[in-house]
């Protein structure tokens, strides 16, 4: 009777362990969506819940943080220091060096309060338009031939998964595209699946999902690859690597069980 029940018990335990291992592996996949099945078949770029093309030139908004620097005099408004209106914030991202950049908030009235020249209306302007406007005011009131560089330091995207580096990356210039950010992140890992990249964009409750096949050079022509503030970029590992990880996880669980079974079998044989 013991001989018939013991193998059955082991088979049931083996089955439960396998199912548990598969479920645990699935939980590690990031931001699953029903449309993810298209990653096996997309040729270039495929968009789910397409929300059209937004203005590729970012327009400054209330509560944005602006870093203003005179290229002719790098010490002017650049790094460190304090101001009545400026806030020293960290510009650290996984792709660049960390430093405290003196930035100035865009206030509810749409203006930014800058040293020496006071309030300047910037809401609704692109970064270039705002830089030119501020440059002209400084040239008129204070500085000789200034060259103003303006950065919106709160604009960022998040990279997760099989990249050289993960984390938040600043959108420091106009029209930053996907490939530039991947370059900042150190490329993709050896176990990344180039067909599995997706960009999650817009309203988190009803996002636009952009699938990109990095294997096809024609994907680079898509304007959807111009990144927007708060984009989430996810890259999964290959199916082969996922299977290998699953088998390794399963093996780590089964090995102790096999030792137990061997010992139990030996004891059973010796006590017959």
Q: pLDDT tens, 259-270?
A: 767 777 777 777
Beta bridge mates, 120: 112
Instruction: Tell which residue, 96, 87, 42, has the closest CA to residue 68.
Output: 87
Answer yes or no: are the C-beta atoms of 216 and 43 closer than 8 Å.
yes
DSSP letter at 177?
B
Highest mean pLDDT among 67-71, 105-109, 114-118, 191-195: 105-109
pTM to 2 decimal places: 0.69
- The Cβ of residue 60 has, within 10 Å, a number of other Cβ atoms equal to 20
- Using the structure block, give the residue that is written with the tokens 């040293």: 115
d(CA 106, CA 109) in angstroms, rounded, equals: 8
Q: Over the stretch 1-55, which tens digit does the pLDDT of each residue have? A: 444 444 554 555 555 444 544 443 345 567 888 888 888 788 899 999 998 887 7
What CA–CA distances, in Å, run from 167 to 19, 85, 137?
32, 29, 37
Q: Over the stretch 153-178, which tens digit does the pLDDT of each residue have? A: 999 999 999 999 999 999 988 889 99
């Amino acid at each position: 009777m013991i001989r018939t029940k013991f193998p059955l018990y082991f088979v049931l335990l083996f089955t439960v362990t396998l199912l548990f291992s598969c479920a645990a592996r699935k939980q590690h996949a990031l931001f699953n969506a029903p449309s993810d099945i298209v990653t096996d078949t997309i040729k270039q770029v495929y968009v789910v819940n397409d929300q059209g093309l937004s203005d590729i030139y970012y327009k400054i908004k209330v509560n944005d943080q602006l870093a203003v620097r005179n290229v002719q005099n790098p010490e002017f408004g650049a790094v460190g220091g304090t101001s009545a209106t400026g806030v020293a914030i960290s510009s650290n991202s996984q792709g660049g060096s960390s430093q405290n950049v003196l930035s100035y908030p865009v206030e509810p009235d749409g203006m930014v309060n800058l040293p020496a020249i006071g309030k300047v209306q910037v809401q609704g302007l692109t970064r270039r338009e705002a830089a030119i406007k501020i440059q002209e005011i400084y040239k008129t009131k204070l500085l000789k031939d200034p060259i103003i560089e303006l950065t919106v330091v709160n604009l960022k995207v998040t990279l997760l998964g099989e990249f050289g580096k993960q984390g938040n990356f600043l959108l420091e210039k106009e029209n930053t595209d996907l490939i530039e950010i991947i370059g900042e992140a150190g490329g993709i890992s050896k176990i990344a699946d180039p067909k599995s990249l997706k960009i999650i964009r817009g309203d988190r409750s009803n996002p636009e999902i952009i699938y990109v096949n990095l294997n096809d050079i024609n994907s680079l022509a898509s304007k959807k690859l111009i990144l927007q503030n708060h984009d989430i970029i996810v890259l999964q590992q290959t199916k082969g690597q996922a299977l290998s990880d699953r088998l390794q996880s399963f093996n780590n669980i089964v090995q102790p069980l096999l030792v137990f079974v061997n010992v139990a079998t030996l004891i059973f044989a010796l006590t017959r």
